[in-house]
Amino acid sequence: MSTARQQILGRIRSGLKRGPLNEQQQAHLSQELKSRKRTTQPARAKVTGQTALDDFKAMALEVATEIVNLANLEELPQAMSQLMQDSNLTQQPLVLANEPDLVALNWAAASINTDMRASTKGDSISLTNSLCGVAETGTLVLRSSPNSPTTLNLFPDIHCAVLHKDNIVAGYEDAWDWIRNGGIPRTVNFITGPSRSADLEQTLRMGAHGPKRLVIFLV
């Protein structure tokens, strides 16, 4: 254990007026961490099927997320082209996650120039996949990877994400099960609507700490 960590834990113990945990207490704590036992959940975090889909859409729209319904993934380039035209971004590149299902789409037919890289300051629009959606709050869950760095979710003015209807789960506990099944990544992002803040004169401002718009392509 590093010296800095020892000092931090020492201060915490001092504040709690106790010393290190004994072996029995450490074993109990380790077991609790491994058990993943769920505590009380609201009813909305237990829904399934069509109800979960309806709840997700309602909650996402309530926090200013935009939803575009697609019959299949092949419709995505044309839908993205329309979005970029409406946003006056036809001359801008689409910063794209380097993931096989997205790269394989016919972007050229939709007259979209794609750029597969980490996003940087000044990028206008990006597209990623999402791991799942949480019906409880209309939240997207994204895992970082070398092919889909976290900057794609944070830097562009407009963040677009593909979400398959079958990948909508009821609550956060279910989402963490999905995350653990694939191995814990470097970064997990839970995204509920576009970035916003009302800290400045109690006026709501979009894009305060990230994208001004969040668009979900629901497949």
In three-state secondary structure terms, 68 is strand
pLDDT for 204 equals 58
Q: In this predicted model, what pLDDT tens digit does every residue of 120-134 receive, in sequence order?
A: 989 999 999 999 999
- The mean pLDDT of 3-23, rounded to a whole number, is 87
d(CA 143, CA 154): 13
Domain containing 21: what range?
Answer: 1-35
9 pLDDT tier (thresholds 50, 70, 90): confident
Residue 89, beta-bridge partner list: none
Say whether pTM exceeds 0.75: yes
pLDDT for 197 equals 63
69-73, 132-136, 183-187, 196-200: lowest mean pLDDT where?
196-200
Based on the domain organization, do 61 and 156 belong to the same domain?
yes
Based on the domain organization, do 27 and 78 belong to the same domain?
no
Based on the domain organization, do 114 and 44 belong to the same domain?
yes
d(CA 176, CA 179): 5
Number of domains the chain contains: 2
Based on the domain organization, do 29 and 48 belong to the same domain?
no
d(CA 28, CA 49): 37
Based on the domain organization, do 52 and 19 belong to the same domain?
no
pLDDT for 48 equals 85
Based on the domain organization, do 18 and 100 belong to the same domain?
no
pLDDT for 77 equals 98
Q: Which helix (H) or strand (E) holds 143?
A: strand 139-143
pLDDT at 198 over 60: no
Based on the domain organization, do 59 and 3 belong to the same domain?
no
Q: In this predicted model, what pLDDT tens digit does every residue of 64-115 receive, in sequence order?
A: 999 999 999 999 999 999 999 999 999 999 999 999 999 999 999 999 999 9
DSSP string, 76-122: HHHHHHHHHHHTT-TTS-EEE---HHHHTS-TGGGT--EE-S---TT
Q: Which helix (H) or strand (E) holds 140?
A: strand 139-143
* Distances 63 to 193, 195, 196 between C-alpha atoms, Å: 5, 10, 10
pLDDT at 6 over 90: no
pLDDT at 8 over 70: yes
pLDDT for 154 equals 93
d(CA 87, CA 215): 12
Q: Which helix (H) or strand (E) holds 54?
A: helix 49-62
Residue with tokens 């609550």: 171
Based on the domain organization, do 29 and 44 belong to the same domain?
no
* Distances 56 to 14, 78, 129, 181, 195 between C-alpha atoms, Å: 45, 24, 17, 22, 18
pLDDT at 212 over 60: yes
Q: What CATH number is associated with residue 136?
A: 3.40.50.10420
Based on the domain organization, do 80 and 16 belong to the same domain?
no
Based on the domain organization, do 25 and 113 belong to the same domain?
no
201 pLDDT tier (thresholds 50, 70, 90): low
d(CA 175, CA 171): 7
Q: In this predicted model, what pLDDT tens digit does every residue of 118-176 receive, in sequence order?
A: 999 899 999 999 999 999 999 999 999 999 999 999 999 999 999 999 999 999 999 99
Query: How far does the chain reach from its first CA to its final CA, in angstroms?
Result: 47
Based on the domain organization, do 165 and 182 belong to the same domain?
yes
- The mean pLDDT of 20-40, rounded to a whole number, is 83
Residue 156, beta-bridge partner list: none
Based on the domain organization, do 25 and 45 belong to the same domain?
no
DSSP string, 151-209: HHHHSSSEEEEEE-GGGEESSHHHHHHHHHHT---S-EEEE-SS-EE-TTTT--EETSS
